Structures are given as C-alpha cells and as structure tokens.
Structure 1
C-alpha cells in the first residue's frame, strides 16, 4: 500500500479493532483481502466523514455499532477448497495412517465451510467410514452458508479433479456437496476463544484464524485447542501462523518441507 494516508487509516482502524474486539491483524502481517475489505468500508464511510479517510476513522471510533459490524465482516475469512495443497497431502499421507479407526476432526474458524468440506473429502477418500468432521465459526451467517454446501461453480477449480467429481454435483448454476458426504460433516456456531467442541479430536485445523488475535488471545486459543486433542492428535495452522505458535513455546513437528503440526 503506497498511499501513506490510507496506510495510516488502516492502522488506526486495526488498532481500534484490536483494542475493542481482540483482533491481532497489524502492520505487514495484514492479509491483502483484509486490506481490501478495510478499503471498501472506509470508502463507504468517507462521504459521511467529510469526504476524508480520517473522517471515516472518526465515525468508527465514535460508533461502537459500526465498528462491531466491520469486525463481523472481517471475521468471515477468505477461504477456498484445498487451500495449501502440501498441507492436505501431508495430512493424508503422514497423519491419517498413524491414527486409529475412528477419526474426529474439527475445523476452527471454518468461515463459509470450504476447509471443513475439504477435510471431509480427504478423510472419506482415505477412510470411507469411521470419521466425523465439525466446522465451527462465530459467524452465524458464515455457518449458514457453510451448512448449505452450495458454492459458485468456479470455486470447484481449486479441488483436485478426482475430489470434485466424487463429492460435488451440479446445483442450478452452482455446485453442491453430495448428500453422502453431508452425513459426516456438520457445522456449528462457536467462537474459537471457547475452544473446540467437547471431546477429544484427532485433527484440529485452525488456519488463518490466529491472525485476528492479539498475543494473549492467541495463546488462550492455542492452549484450548491443544487440550482438545486426542492422544496422537495434531493441530494444524496456516503456514504463515507457524512461527507465531512456535514462539508461544508449543511442540512442533515437521511432516514435510513447509508443513508443520503441533501436538499436546
């Protein structure tokens, strides 16, 4: 971002979000899609704020309701099917063979569900039965979208062709997850800050979620997830989040070049 005025406005809003809503997205670690959503929000508020970005920031500073609305928009994270293929391959080739017959998996901060459905596809292809996937997100809107299992047709292009053919079907002008897979994948409204659902989980995915948390909140979320792991279970975060979890002092294991998991 080359515009210093816009860069300062972003920083001011992110500071507000961190202080009032616990967001930890700051500085150079801010993803491009977060910046794009901030731009849209600030540009929409600018006319009301005297035509300036500083005026837009002042509106957010004075109006807790609008700031909360922006926080909700940003919490519906950007996601896609089969994001970061090396992680999925390592999960299928290195993690699943070491687990027992029953595999329980949870996708924390699942947003609109693509990651949870991908996890179901990978488990179903490898196991065929004896697995359960739960996707959880604090956003009711995101969970409702995820539970529908319907996505724009072009979203399927991110999946390996065999998974797309096996688990997706045409639905109007979109695609939808087939009924057989839907029997083993479910979604619930739940905040990452209260940890995964009760029970012990062989696989916990929490990708591109910790970027929203300050250090104290991130440590709490990671601790809760690690406590929720079954014996031999793994926690997998986004590649960009691995250094942060390492810095918190948790035990890491490299499964493949660039693919790291954490254990309790």
Structure 2
C-alpha cells in the first residue's frame, strides 16, 4: 500500500473526525502514524478500503472507540518522572495535609487523567498510603480513552521488569509475586476507580485536590488543550495542584492556574 494508503481528502476526513471525537490532532508530520494504525484496523476488521472503514466508524460508536484506542500512545511506567514524585512527596502532599487539617476535610481526591495501563495511579496510591496520617483517606479516579489499557490497569498484574523504578519498600509492602510477575495488593487497588473517559467531555468530577494529566495534551491542538485545562479548573477545588508532562506547558493559555517552581519540578496550582 506504500505511503499513499490515504489520499489527501481521506486523510483530512479521518483527522477531522478523530479531532471532533477526541481532540487528538494529527498533523501532516504524524500522518504515517495514523496510516499505520488504520492499516492494522482494516486488516483486523477485513474492511477493504479506507473509505469503507470511514463509513463504518461513523455508524459504529464501538469501532470508533477501538480506533481512538489504537491511535493513542500508551507509554508509561511506575513513578515516571522522578522529579514529579519528589515534588508530590516533599511539597504537595505535606501542603495538602496541612490545608485539610485546618479545614477538617481529611479526604484527598485525585484524578489520574490518561492513566494508560495503571502505573501512574498505582504509584500515586502507594505514595498516599505511605504518607497520609491516620484519619486521612484518598480516593483516586483513573481514566483513559483506551479500553484495552484500562483492562490491564484493573487487572494490576505486571511482568517483573515493569516494576523497575518502584522503591523496594513499596514492592515488599504493596505487591505480591504471581507467576512471572507481581500483582498490586487489594489495599492499593481499592483506593482507585478505573473509568473510561474522553477528555473532550466534562468528567462530572468536582472538588479535586490533585490532577495528574501528563503527556496527554501534547496530542491536542491549542484550542483543544485550553478546553481540557478549563475542564480541569472547573473540576478542582480552591486549593489544588495540576501536574502535566515535563514537555507540556500552559504558557500562552488563558487559564487561572499559577505556575509553581519547586526544588524538584515545575507544576501548576489553583489557589482561589
């Protein structure tokens, strides 16, 4: 099929549909990624042409979800970006503990948006379990556009090499050996609710203390990025923190978030 798998009109139709459904933006420079994922879907569904597959996804919401799943990149690992977790451990959680002790509300509410196969929310849960004082609880919602990734996340079973980067104290305390891998213990699993969510829409969540959405908005164009960030603002309470990917920035966007440089990493906060 070569590089002319999609003609220019088809490419424009696909990228417009994907953008309208999810906010994910395909430029000419990453056209080859879209084409390779489409080839695979056509092969698996036995649809003969891109035009016929386009018709199918317009008529079949489930197949549209599968395509969106296939075009998202699900690269993640436990405790990804050490500086972020140092900021969380040494700055953000101590500050939230102090604030919540003053307010009398001792529940920490966290959203891991774009959680992929679950390593990020499990990492967050382990840190909270380790650091929160008696009487405090944590509730974590972990969402993704990929149903396949969410199934892996819910299972919580990882091959041993995937545990690279997990502190030994957490491996001993929060994982159990199983076959060739390790399973996350129930005391951590029960802190997390995994849920399918498309960031193009309002999640319905409110009063969040912490949002992690790392290496997700990089796939969106500027209007879609601003829309997502505005939804985060609405979902977060008046004393809260936002973590985005180290290659992502809110610079130039009209948001209410305040840039915060800690000793370890740069993050954003909402103080109103």
TM range (shorter): 0.7 to 0.9
The Cα offsets for residues 28-79 of structure 1, whole Å up to 9 and x where unpaired, read as 996xxx9768535447759x999xxxxx766665653677633221236222
Instruction: Say whether residues 1:151 and 2:158 are aligned partners.
Output: yes
1:263 maps to 270
Aligned counterpart in structure 1 of residue 91 of structure 2, from 91, 94, 105: 94
Q: Specify whether residues 59 and 78 from structure 1 end up closer, same or farther in structure 2 by C-alpha distance, changes over 3 A only.
A: farther
1:21 maps to 21
Q: Specify whether residues 254 and 12 from structure 1 end up closer, same or farther in structure 2 by C-alpha distance, changes over 3 A only.
A: farther
What's the Cα RMSD here?
3.5
Q: Which moved more, 1:245-254 or 1:60-69?
A: 60-69
The Cα offsets for residues 136-157 of structure 1, whole Å up to 9 and x where unpaired, read as 2243333232122112221101
CA–CA separation in structure 2 for the residues paired with 1:213 and 1:188: 21
- Mapping of residues 71-220 of structure 1, within 5 Å: 71-75=68-72, 77-100=74-97, 101=101, 102=106, 103-127=108-132, 130=136, 131-220=138-227
CA–CA separation in structure 2 for the residues paired with 1:260 and 1:29: 29
Query: Secondary structure at 2:205's aligned position in 1?
Result: coil
Q: Which has the higher helix share?
A: 1
Is residue 169–residue 175 contact of structure 1 (8 Å, CA) maintained in 2?
A: yes
What TM-score do the two structures reach when normalised by structure 2?
0.75
Q: Specify whether residues 44 and 262 from structure 1 end up closer, same or farther in structure 2 by C-alpha distance, changes over 3 A only.
A: same
The Cα offsets for residues 186-245 of structure 1, whole Å up to 9 and x where unpaired, read as 222233233444331111111122133333222221111112212221111111122xx2
CA–CA separation in structure 1 for the residues paired with 2:211 and 2:29: 23
The Cα offsets for residues 114-139 of structure 1, whole Å up to 9 and x where unpaired, read as 11101101111111552222212243
Report the alpha carbon displacement of residue 176 of structure 1 after superposing the two structures with TM: 0.7
What TM-score do the two structures reach when normalised by structure 1?
0.77
CA–CA separation in structure 2 for the residues paired with 1:149 and 1:49: 34
Is residue 110–residue 137 contact of structure 1 (8 Å, CA) maintained in 2?
A: yes
1:53 maps to none
Query: Secondary structure at 1:247's aligned position in 2?
Result: coil
Report the alpha carbon displacement of residue 81 of structure 1 after superposing the two structures with TM: 0.9
Q: Mind listing any 5+ residue stretches in structure 1 that lack a counterpart? A: 51-55
Q: Mind listing any 5+ residue stretches in structure 2 that lack a counterpart? A: none
Q: Specify whether residues 17 and 240 from structure 1 end up closer, same or farther in structure 2 by C-alpha distance, changes over 3 A only.
A: farther
Count of residue pairs brought into register by the alignment: 251
Q: Specify whether residues 86 and 179 from structure 1 end up closer, same or farther in structure 2 by C-alpha distance, changes over 3 A only.
A: same
Instruction: Say whether residues 1:223 and 2:230 are aligned partners.
Output: yes
Is residue 81–residue 155 contact of structure 1 (8 Å, CA) maintained in 2?
A: yes
CA–CA separation in structure 2 for the residues paired with 1:224 and 1:194: 8
Q: Specify whether residues 256 and 225 from structure 1 end up closer, same or farther in structure 2 by C-alpha distance, changes over 3 A only.
A: same
